[in-house]
Each structure stands twice: as C-alpha cells, then as structure tokens.
Structure 1
C-alpha cells in the first residue's frame, strides 16, 4: 500500500467509478493463490450448498463458473477477505470502515463461458447510501477474446438504470436500456495480466463478453460495504417478491 499513490487512486474511484492496479500481486503471490484456489475446488466444492456454486453445465463439473462465500469454508480465504491489504484498500477508497461481505471465484470455461450482462451491483445490494466496492483480481491473463471486464466511465454518478431478468446463471438481472450513445462513448475495456486488480464502485456499470477462446478465464472477487451504508429493506423485499414472481 505504501507504494500506491493513494490520492490519485481515490480521485479515480470517485471520478471514473473504477481503478486499475496492475501487478497488485506478485508472480509468487499469484502462484500461491492459484494453488490455494485449486485445493479449495478439489476439497470443498463437493460439500458446498446449492446457491454457493454454479456451473455452466450442471452435469459437467469441468464447467465450474462461480463460487460464493469462499471465506466460510477455508481460513486462508477468510483472512484474505477480513484481514488483508484488500480490506485496507476498500477502507481507503470508501473513506470509511468496511463490512466484508464475500469472497468469490469466477471462471468462464473455454468456448462456453457466457457473457456477464451489463449491471450495477447496487441494484442487488440496495444500499443507502450506495457506498460499496467490488474488487476483481485476474488469476490468469484475460483479454477481449476470453472475456475481460468492461466499464462505462462515470456511470456511477447517474443513478440506477432499469434492470430486468437475464438468462445468465449467477447474474439474474441486467440493464435493459444498455448501449446508448453515451454508454458507447464512455465504454472502456480492461485486459489484465495475472495479479492485476480492478476495483469499481457499486453504482458503476460493468460487464464482460463471452469466452470465445480455448482458454479459461479465472478470477477472484471481493465485496466490501461501507459501514455507513444500510440496506433498503423495503426495496429488498420488493426485489425478492419480483424474483419469486419471475421464477414461479
């Protein structure tokens, strides 16, 4: 953290809605982390409940696409979420104490990894104020072909866009009026090397294309809520009712 220009980082987060930190983890740290992830998959996934694990094809375990709440099952990942430089960075950017919410694994399997629909995290979180940060760390090289993360610059400053149901498992809601002229003009893609870190505000529009390559696209994600943010319980209840109606 001491080598990072913290003021520039905070300004980018507040102005653009995201920051990019290339080489946030060293090659040695990435190697260790990949080993820990693979051990977790081999030893823990079979015992995880439905809703914490998603496959592109539920009949094919090689198509694992998402794991939720890894910190609940392994002390290594608990420490990484709750007592780490990732948490310190969230506190810096949100200018607040933070509540660590989850540590997740993401993959887009070769050729069949589906697009992540354009969305805003606070549509799911429903926080007032909408103060939260999501982190995304590349575990391997990611580019346009295998589904790099994309943002709409400054979109966190313009409220929540309309969302509707998608067919993407794990990302059930997406922006329904996406790709306006303004979206196109302000869209930016972030190809990343293993160890690069992206962080975005909970209101920032982001998405990723499908994996059209023969490679995987593995990453980890952290979510932190500002301590001052509170869930809008009425909006949350209405959202759950809407989801139930859609899946009935």
Structure 2
C-alpha cells in the first residue's frame, strides 16, 4: 500500500470501524480462488472433523454453509492467511504485528440461507484490548436479496453490547438490544462484487439478512487476525463456556 493510501485507510477504519476495498482481488485471482474453494469442498470436506463443517441441513451436502480453519488442510489457504496482502493489510490497520487465527468459508444457500444475527466478534474473541480484524471477501455478486453484510457505523467505539443465545448454527450469540435509534441511523449495507473486500474491527456491530434468492448462493471467504498485543481474557472465556454449557443442558 502507498503511504498516503494506507494512512487514509487507517483513519477511515478507526473512525467508522470498517473499510471497503472494491476490486481487492483481480478477476484472475478471483477465478483461481473460486477454483481452489471448489476443489477444497470436493476433496477436503469429506475428511474434515465434523465440528469444522456446518450445513443448513446436515443431510444435504448442497446446503454447506461454513468451513473453519481451511488453512490447516491446504497450502493455498495457508499462504492466503499467513503470507499475503491480507496479513499485511491487517498489520497496517491494527498498527501491530498480528496473529493469523483462521480462514473460513461462508455461504448462504438459495432460499434457505438463514440470517446472520447482529453481533460483535469480540464477544466471541474476548480480547483485551479488543484489537482484531475480520476480513470478508466476496466470491460472487452479493446484494440485499442474497444477504449482503451490514454494519452499524462507529459502533466499535462503544464497547460490547449485551448478547444472548440465537438459533443460528455457527453464530450462537446475538445482540439482545439491537436496532435502537442509533443502530437504525448508522446502519450501512455493502453490496459487493467478486474480489471486493470488507474489513471490520472486532467491536463493530455487523449482520446479514437471509438469502431470499431462488437461485443464487452467497459465498465468501473470511480471515481473522488478532493483534499481537491483544490477550485472551481467560476468566471471561471460562465464564462463557460455563454459560453455553448451562444453556445446552436445559
């Protein structure tokens, strides 16, 4: 990144809690990535641990909705997470060395792709300080109909909101007091084309609607980076595990 461009991105990121980089990948890079995803699903998913593969309908392979830690099973995705422009961008925005955490695949299958509840990633990460970024890279055209990403502008400056259990597989916690006047006033939607990149702070409120399309999927890649200076709050993490255990036992 050029110095001026990098500085402008950092200022926008710190002000809004997100940045949008259209055309971050070229047409050829998108083609190669989509082919790699297709091959991964065909070759690796059948042998991956069940806890890293999620379906809308576990009896229907066509409803694949999420894959976790793809970098552990394929060198292409390992390079993408650990040795790439994505990592360099994360370090620039966080102004710190980073710890690459995971590379994931997300999809909302046509007609049955469920909404992603409004949430903040640091509710799951539990970092102090809450310095981390999540990147969301579109693999195909995404709009309001098939579930584009939405943010509450500036929400990263106001701490973690209350979260409670949802019924959405892969996103078990959602904000319980969502859609107050500020949420409504600051809500921003981001339709995207293949290769467009969204990056948000770990405290930025974000969500996506269901896929209402009759025929179009909504595929994307997610990459997560923690700042090296951020530490997990082990007490909060244990309290969260106990909370989940209690909820699941009811």
**TM-score, normalising length: structure 1:** 0.99
Which residue does the alignment assign to 1:156?
156
Distance 1:173 1:103 in 2: 20
Structure-2 separation of matches of 1:170 and 1:72: 19
Partner of 1:96: 96
* Map of 2:221 onto structure 1: 220
1:46-66: CA deviation from partner (whole Å, max 9, x where unpaired): 011121010000000000000
Distance in structure 2 (CA, Å) of the matches to 1:68 and 1:13: 26
Q: Does 1:190 align with 2:190?
A: yes
Q: Does 1:33 align with 2:33?
A: yes
Query: Which whole-Å deviations, capped at 9, do the CAs of 1:48-95 have from their partners, x for residues lacking one?
Result: 112101000000000000000000000110010000000000000000
| Structure 1 stretches of at least 4 aligned residues deviating more than 2 Å after TM superposition | 1-4
Q: CA offsets per residue over residues 178-222 of structure 1, 9 Å max, x none?
A: 000110000000000000000000000000000000200000000
Distance 1:11 1:178 in 2: 26
Q: Which residue of 1 aligns with 2:176?
A: 176
Q: Quote how far apart the aligned CAs of 1:4 are.
A: 7.6
How many residues are paired up? 248
Q: Match of 2:237?
A: 236
Q: Which has the higher mean CA deviation after the structures are superposed, 4-13 or 227-236? A: 4-13
Residues in 1 aligned to 2:244 and 2:237: alpha-carbon distance in whole angstroms: 11
Any idea what SS the aligned residue of 1:167 has? strand
What is the deviation of 1:2? 3.8
Residue of structure 1 in register with 2:145 after alignment: 145
Q: Find out whether 1:246 has 2:247 as its counterpart.
A: yes
Deviations 1:108-156 (A, max 9, x none): 0000000000000000000000000000000000000000000000000
Alpha-carbon distance between aligned partners in 1 of 2:191 and 2:3, rounded to the nearest angstrom: 23
What do the CA deviations read for 1:16-41 (whole angstroms, capped 9, x no partner)? 00000000000110000000000000
Name the CA distance, whole Å, in 1 between partners of 2:223 and 2:112.
24
Q: Secondary structure at the match of 1:112?
A: coil
Q: Distance in 2 between matches of 1:87 and 1:112?
A: 33
1:116/1:4 Cα in 2 relative to 1: closer, same or farther (>3 Å)?
farther
Could you tell me how far apart the structure 2 residues matched to 1:12 and 1:210 are? 28
Partner of 1:211: 211
Matched, 1:200 2:206: no
Residue 66 (structure 2) aligns with: 66
Q: Judging changes above 3 Å, is the alpha-carbon distance between structure 1 residues 104 and 4 closer, same or farther for their aligned structure 2 residues?
A: farther
Q: Structure 1 53/241 Cα, relative in aligned 2: closer, same or farther at 3 Å?
A: same
CA–CA distance in structure 2, aligned partners of residues 79 and 51 of structure 1: 23
CA distance in 1, matches of 2:4, 2:198: 14
